[in-house]
Structure 1
Amino acid sequence: MEWLEKLYDETEHVKVRFVGYATETSRFDFGLVFTNMFFGKPLVICMQTGRSALLDSEDVKNVEYLRKAFHLPSLSEAEHLAAIVEEYVPKHYFVHQYE
């Protein structure tokens, strides 16, 4: 059998927020999972495609990154997503996860 090392197995009660919005051309439904894992970055999940990304306030400002991460058709769609998610992502939050 192949060697396997378990890195972590955590259980945590988390806060989840669901946000939906529509533009002139598209509808988006996202889940935001707020956890102490992943250096405090919320896990943002597109409920329609299943694509997800860990985002902090700096990541939200990078609309090209959002476009690629969520396979959005245009930069304007990514700008709409940034405007919505920015409201919920902590402004400056950093957790030392592995100490």
Structure 2
Amino acid sequence: MEHFEKLYDEHEKVHVRFVGFTTYDTRYDFGFIYTNMFFGKPLVVCMQTGRSALLDPKDIENIEYLQKAFHITEVRQAEELALFFNEELPTVPFQTQYE
């Protein structure tokens, strides 16, 4: 490891939540990882594709971002996903990670 400069190595107990749900034509399985890292944003992982994103309320409003992050081709599916995230993800005030 002499060629690497470690920037951080954090250990913490985190809260993880797994949610599976269906819409009219799609099934979703997500893991929500709540941590003190990432400026208070939960890490959302699609258990089917392995794609992940850090999401806050502004990210959820950005349908194009959700489409890109979770590789969703249909706008309607991304809008449904945004509605779900809006109801299920807590709104947390912005936190400074490096204080």
Same-fold status (TM-score > 0.5): yes
3-state secondary structure, aligned to 2:30: strand
Unaligned runs of 5+ in 2: none
Paired residue type of 2:59: D
TM-aligned CA deviation for residue 2 of structure 1: 6.5
TM-aligned CA deviation for residue 3 of structure 1: 2.7
Unaligned runs of 5+ in 1: none
| 1:41 aligned partner | 41
Give the alignment's TM-score, normalised by structure 2.
0.91
CA distance in 2 between partners of 1:61 and 1:44 (Å): 15
What is the count of residue pairs matched by the alignment?
A: 99
- 1:77 counterpart = 2:85: no
1:62-84 deviation digits (Å, cap 9, x = unpaired): 11110111001211111111111
Give the alignment's TM-score, normalised by structure 1.
0.91
Give me the identity figure in percent. 61
Of 82-91 and 62-71, more deviation after overlay is shown by 82-91
**Over the residues paired in the alignment, what is the CA RMSD in angstroms?**
1.5
TM-aligned CA deviation for residue 19 of structure 1: 1.5
| 1:60 aligned partner | 60
3-state secondary structure, aligned to 1:45: strand
1:36-87 deviation digits (Å, cap 9, x = unpaired): 0010100000000000000001101111110111001211111111111112
CA distance in 1 between partners of 2:22 and 2:65 (Å): 20
